[in-house]
Structure 1
């Protein structure tokens, strides 16, 4: 029995050594391995707490458990997040949180924000709900689903969301660029989030995340690294109407763009110093 088991153990050890070698030697292998780990563990983290979430459905506090799991994933992937601007968090009212959108890794940013923001929620396309069990978990922690193909229904949902922000002091997290990208500048903003903020007469809370210098999808690079998450001072929408929409969008984009450039330069310079 022992003699038969030795080759199997040798094979296992050999495969493990090969994987370790490929992880360290090939950035492509490392890229796909780390993203696979991220996806698998994120799914587990989001769904494993469903039995507990069922005790209080549609409660924002349900998201705190998956958020804890996501923070452990960050450590495993070698990612560090520095959270700044806690003194700027809107208190005693709802708001619309706007975050620049870079990658699926933004999920890990939300995991850092959820415990400090309180009453957080997000908007997702309705198709996500049917990706069970993940869709069920999303529903349990209060995700608002919209039908993007039905403009009238989507707008109606967004209007109701504005009411939720006011009455429940909810903090609605949205990505105003509308799509993720890894560029050096922010994309133009979509109008949806600003319509919600003006309709609900609640502040916009800009949150800027520095550039993911450690991640490059085109060259398949996913290294360890650090990013700065900065919560900026709130922008009031009090007494604003639709006529103020363009001005509000420009103001917010300018503030977030400046912060994105400055934070990205800072974090890259710090990384370069550690390398040299």
Structure 2
């Protein structure tokens, strides 16, 4: 019964959200803050799914703040677990940020067109030349428009398999743009089920920026491995913290 009721409510909310997003994109197509506004809309749906999302930004000294002012273009690297990312990770998407998605998304009815009109970047990963050209244009746009890019470096959903290996494209872009890398992690979401009233806690943490100012192109694999290691260790800590919070009596 809960599954049916929640599915209906979710369908209604998403339909209303899509209508609003269509209007937003038609009124101001490709606007630098479209993705931020849309992300806020989708993250507001989390309570309907019984998910308590704790969103925070970590400083270098380990303290946390609620929000960080956008000062320079950054590459946000987020772990990609499942479809619930749409309601959890979105709580952390900053202003002046667009995401990088597969070119095939453009062929999805309605969603693909909205994704493109929102200002997001489409890349053809199967075509090496096209992919390099897209990333070169992305670097230019980042520098000229002070635009940040949100990327899922795993390239696919992990579905409970931990942090999968990273593709190096995001790191080439960060080095070329001299942009800081900001890891963004959402704790494990495997416990979320539409037929459960209480789906517990998901912690979304934006980690401290990692500079690429002195990193050379030849060091891209080393940088990739370093960031993967840092994110893997922190993800394990966040999973433990979230599990502890959910184990406490409500």
Q: Shorter-chain TM-score category? A: 0.7 to 0.9
- Structure 2 CA distance, aligned partners of 1:190 and 1:109? 23
Q: Which runs of 5+ in 2 are unaligned?
A: 61-67
Matched, 1:164 2:141: yes
Query: How high is the TM-score relative to the length of structure 1?
Result: 0.78
Q: Is the 8 A contact 1:81 1:227 kept in 2?
A: yes
Q: Is the 8 A contact 1:215 1:221 kept in 2?
A: yes
2:132 maps to which of 139, 149, 155: 155
| Alpha-carbon distance, 1:273 to partner | 1.9
Q: Is the 8 A contact 2:46 2:52 kept in 1?
A: yes
Matched, 1:69 2:44: no
2:169 maps to which of 192, 197, 220: 192
| Alpha-carbon distance, 1:183 to partner | 2.8
In structure 2, the partner of 1:263 is 238
In structure 1, the partner of 2:63 is none
- Structure 1 CA distance, aligned partners of 2:122 and 2:15? 19
Q: Is the 8 A contact 1:80 1:225 kept in 2?
A: yes
Larger radius of gyration: 1
| Alpha-carbon distance, 1:204 to partner | 0.3
| Alpha-carbon distance, 1:82 to partner | 0.6
Matched, 1:249 2:224: yes
In structure 1, the partner of 2:86 is 107
Query: How high is the TM-score relative to the length of structure 2?
Result: 0.86
- Structure 2 CA distance, aligned partners of 1:35 and 1:242? 47
User: How has the CA–CA distance of structure 1 residues 132 and 185 changed in structure 2, closer, same or farther, with 3 Å as cutoff?
Assistant: closer
Residue correspondence of structure 1 range 1-276 to structure 2 within 5 A: 20=1, 23=2, 30=3, 38=10, 41-42=13-14, 44-85=16-57, 87=59, 89=68, 91-114=70-93, 117-183=94-160, 185-215=162-192, 224-274=199-249
Report the structure, 1 or 2, having the larger helix content.
1
- Structure 1 CA distance, aligned partners of 2:72 and 2:152? 20
- Structure 2 CA distance, aligned partners of 1:184 and 1:190? 16
Deviation by residue 1:218-276 (Cα, 9 ceiling, x = unmatched)? xx97952211111111111113222111221121111111110001001101111227x
RMSD over aligned CA atoms reads: 2.6
Deviation by residue 1:94-143 (Cα, 9 ceiling, x = unmatched)? 011001111111112343123xx211101112221232322222122211
Secondary structure of 2:166 counterpart: coil
